[in-house]
Amino acid sequence: MAETTAGELASALKLKLRGDPKTTIVGAATLDEATDRQISFVASPKYFEAAENSRAGCLIAPPAFGAEGRAVMESEAPRAHFAQALAILYPAQPVCAGIHPGAIVEPGAHIDESAEIGAGAVIRGGAWIGPRTRIGEGSFIGRDTRIGEDCILHPRVTVYERVAVGARAIVHSGAVIGADGFGFEMVNGMYRKVPQVGTVEIGDDVEIGANTCIDRATLGVTTIGRGTKLDNQVHIAHNCRIGAHVVIAAQTGLAGGVTIGDYAVVGGQVGVGDKARIESRAIIGSGAGILTSKIVRAGEPVWGTPARPLKQYLAQLAVLSRLARKRRGAE
């Protein structure tokens, strides 16, 4: 954790500072937990009172916040600037170039001299590991897989053969990229496996949560677009095509062939059926169910199972509530 001053941090964030620029900052915390040597943020005017009562030595707040007696950085986007401040106060562990003696690297693998390979990692032949990339302890990188520059693969990540991962990707522990898609055909009364011979392509600046699984395509490519963020325990089935800057929350599952457009937002515990299409900037509420081949249009958020526009969903809930009250009255 880095120690700095309010003046230095405001300069780094390019924010106007009110109050003492020499205020020491040694960390960050929430408004109710921050001390006089920590920074916090005020997301909106509804938190002004809480901010005034906070002990935080420095705040990132909207310009309208007028508390005196402490350092305040004026921001139109306090949460975003607070995130930048966290990156400065808690810098990432630097990559330690080199291959741990306990790692296994097969002949034919290319590992950039600036990359870090942790203990117990296995790198198969034909794999390509880019500059300044860290492969965590116990991770597996399959044959002919390409991992771009400045990536972080945390311990125990599994990347199957022939997968491509773009630059600056972050993959958390337990994630599996390139496992077989769920493909079977009934032959003579029993299921026969359909060979999954496609691959997976992950774009630049993607983050993949812990224990998330992205299946390879049956044929062709399963794609995750640039800047997309997948939470923990997300399942992306074979031949899905996820656009750029999509956000998918935890425990969501996509069946095969689903398409999601750029900037869509998918809540937690959502189930999406085969070949459904979610348009760019669409919003799906937590727990929703998207039926097979359904098209979700951008605009009003959808909710419920089967998913429908939020206003319609709420109206139906209100009707059910009135019916329940009438039934109780009749009894």
Q: Catalytic site residue 245?
A: no
Strand order in the sheet with 140-141: 104-105, 122-123, 140-141, 158-159, 176-179, 213-215, 235-236, 253-254, 271-272, 289-290
SS3 content of the chain, % helix, strand, coil (to 5): 15, 30, 55
List the beta bridge partners of residue 147.
129, 165
- The one catalytic residue in 81, 154, 238, 245 is 238
Q: In DSSP terms, which residues pair with 18 in a beta bridge?
A: 72
For residue 8, which of 26, 22, 18 has the smallest C-alpha distance? 22
Q: Which among 220, 242, 221, 222 is positioned nearest to 230, based on CA atoms?
A: 242
Q: Give the side-chain half-sphere CA count within 13 A for 225.
A: 16
DSSP states along 127-189:
-EE-TT-EE-TT-EE-TT-EE-TT-EE-TT-EE-TT-EE-TT-EE-TT-EEEEPP--EEEETT
Distance in angstroms (rounded) separating the CA atoms of residues 92 and 152: 10
As given in the structure block, the two tokens for residue 72 are 């305040």
* Alpha-carbon gap, residue 41 to 137, rounded angstroms: 36
Residues annotated as catalytic (active site), given as ranges: 238
